[in-house]
Amino acid sequence: MTEQKPVLIAGAGPVGLVAAASLVKQGIPVVVLEAGPTISTEMRASTFHAPTLDMLDDLGAAEAMIAQGIIGPRVQYRARDQSLIAEFDFRVLADVTRHPYRLQCEQFKLTRILHELMSKNPLYDIRFNARVENAIDHGEHVEAVLEDGTRIAGAYLIGADGAHSAVRKAAGIAFEGFTWPERFLVLSTEFDFASIIPGLADVSYYADPEEWFFLLRVPGVWRAMFPVRAEVSDEEVMTEAFARARFARVVEGRCDYPIKHTTLYRVHQRVAETFCRGRLLLVGDAAHINNPLGGMGLNGGVHDAVNLVEKLVPVLRGEADDAVLSLYDRQRRGVTVEHVQRQTIVNKQNLEARDPVAHQAFRDRMASTAADPAKAHAYLLGMSMINSLRRAAEIV
Ligand SMILES: Cc1cc2nc3c(=O)[nH]c(=O)nc-3n(C[C@H](O)[C@H](O)[C@H](O)COP(=O)(O)OP(=O)(O)OC[C@H]3O[C@@H](n4cnc5c(N)ncnc54)[C@H](O)[C@@H]3O)c2cc1C
């Protein structure tokens, strides 16, 4: 190989660092440019699906993640009166994955683990306080322009710089889609909901025509997520009274749980018009964002990074033409639209269905799917995102 320019990666979030680890593993030098002063401590994502864990295992990161997370083999759909609509057990996927469960583990643990794994590798160069403001594709190489005017040259630039991606903007790539009118409120508490809700799974979605919600256990806390109507002000949402009123919906007559964190998110469904333009490539939230119902955003981002690196390495080694990068776009953008966007929108519509006929149809469908082993297996292939990866592999 002639002298190898590094691959530049904007953003040391979970997806940027998966891209970095995948490249470094193949002997490709990377320069990661992170706007923040340190590795992100964001909690946001907490669900890691089976095929994502298989990929992280290939990078040597899964064992530490599993040690720091909670293995959740079951997922439930419940009604607000706590009656069980359906329960699925991921262990039936043991025939297709090495990790047949959902791992509940905050996303900052992944960034920390990957950063530590690479920290002594001379191919890994990470720079903090290095916000990318512009990206220039010179045809034969790229330049990232930082806030302070510094220019850094590389072979390609991967934009893993989140939903507001400067790389996407510099490439002139539109980010089409819509924003939901409601915001999503996440309340976390050290109170153990499983102590008062018999048989509660670590992930439980509550379908309710009045107001859906879900409960999810992460190490040390339970998180509850609720939709918040557009007309309620941010100030009101952030009051303790508002949080207590939401908690009162979980178990009738109880709202006295200690509140550890309150976070309010605006939620979007958007997909970049292309995931690659010349030497500027997009992965993760820079390329797509969706609502968190089903835990598919970060997982999809990891799948992007792994897919992209598979295509990019042969190009960097001179073994493939860079036209192969358009296959990355077709495969990953294709399944983002066909699977991730469609599924997360359907997940939300199912939980919030107001029409009694639609609500009952959802309950009946879930119950009959869970009761039939073959249907349950097929359903979990979709829920765990194995289907979307299989579909991506079919796209040529
Ligand atoms: C409440 C909530 C719950 C969620 N739960 C799940 C879940 O369970 N499972 C799941 O799969 N997904 C989930 N998601 C989505 C998930 O959090 C995101 O998809 C994920 O964080 C995307 O990772 P990323 O690395 O692409 O971007 P980010 O995590 O946004 O990281 C981007 C990084 O780039 C840096 N950066 C930004 N701009 C620049 C710049 N110009 N130059 C340099 N650096 C820059 C940032 O500082 C940051 O470190 C959830 C989201 C929300 C809001």
Given a cut of 80, whether residue 2 has pLDDT beyond it is no
| Any atom of ligand 1 within 6 Å of the Cβ of 72 | no
Average pLDDT over residues 220-247: 96
If you measure from the C-alpha of residue 16 to the centroid of ligand 1, how many angstroms do you get, rounded to a whole number? 10
Ligand 1 mutation pick, 18, 33, 41, 44, max ligand atoms within 8 A of CB: 44
Structural domain contains residue 136: yes
Residue whose Cα lies nearest atom 39 of ligand 1: it is: 161
Given a cut of 90, whether residue 42 has pLDDT beyond it is no
Q: Which atom of ligand 1 is nearest to the CA of 186?
A: 1
Nearest to 389 by CA among 101, 53, 10: 53
Nearest to 110 by CA among 36, 179, 52: 52
Look up residue 353 and give its two tokens: 């269905």
Structural domain contains residue 29: yes
| Any atom of ligand 1 within 6 Å of the Cβ of 97 | no
What's the confidence (pLDDT) of residue 327? 98
Residue pLDDT, tens place only, 263-296: 999 999 999 999 999 999 999 999 999 999 999 9
Structural domain contains residue 205: no
Given a cut of 80, whether residue 3 has pLDDT beyond it is no
Residue pLDDT, tens place only, 120-159: 999 999 999 999 999 999 999 999 999 999 999 999 999 9
What's the confidence (pLDDT) of residue 41? 86
Which residues neighbour 196 within 8 Å (Cβ) at sequence distance 6 or greater? Answer: 251, 254
What's the confidence (pLDDT) of residue 248? 94
DSSP string, 10-36: E--SHHHHHHHHHHHHTT--EEEE-SS
Residue pLDDT, tens place only, 82-109: 999 999 999 999 999 999 999 999 999 9
What's the confidence (pLDDT) of residue 43? 86
If you measure from the C-alpha of residue 139 to the centroid of ligand 1, how many angstroms do you get, rounded to a whole number? 29
Structural domain contains residue 82: no
If you measure from the C-alpha of residue 297 to the centroid of ligand 1, how many angstroms do you get, rounded to a whole number? 8
**327: CATH:** 3.50.50.60
What's the confidence (pLDDT) of residue 253? 86
Quote the CA–CA distance of 55 and 61 in Å, as a whole number. Answer: 9
Look up residue 219 and give its two tokens: 């190490």
Structural domain contains residue 324: yes
| Any atom of ligand 1 within 6 Å of the Cβ of 297 | yes
Quote the CA–CA distance of 185 and 203 in Å, as a whole number. Answer: 17
Average pLDDT over residues 221-229: 96
Look up residue 4 and give its two tokens: 């190898």
Structural domain contains residue 361: no
If you measure from the C-alpha of residue 109 to the centroid of ligand 1, how many angstroms do you get, rounded to a whole number? 13
Q: Are 109 and 68 in contact (CB under 8 A)?
A: yes
If you measure from the C-alpha of residue 199 to the centroid of ligand 1, how many angstroms do you get, rounded to a whole number? 32
Structural domain contains residue 181: no
* % residues pLDDT > 70 (the chain): 99
Residue pLDDT, tens place only, 307-343: 999 999 999 999 999 999 999 999 999 999 999 999 9
Given a cut of 60, whether residue 212 has pLDDT beyond it is yes
If one counts every other C-beta atom within 10 angstroms of the C-beta of residue 107, the result is 22
Q: Does the reported pTM lie above 0.95?
A: yes
DSSP string, 112-177: HHHHHHHTT-TTEEEESS--EEEEEE-SS-EEEEETTS-EEEES-EEE---TT-HHHHHTT--EEE
What's the confidence (pLDDT) of residue 1? 44
Nearest to 170 by CA among 10, 60, 58: 10
Number of independent structural domains in the chain: 1
Structural domain contains residue 204: no
Domain of 149, in residue numbers: 7-72+99-176+269-352
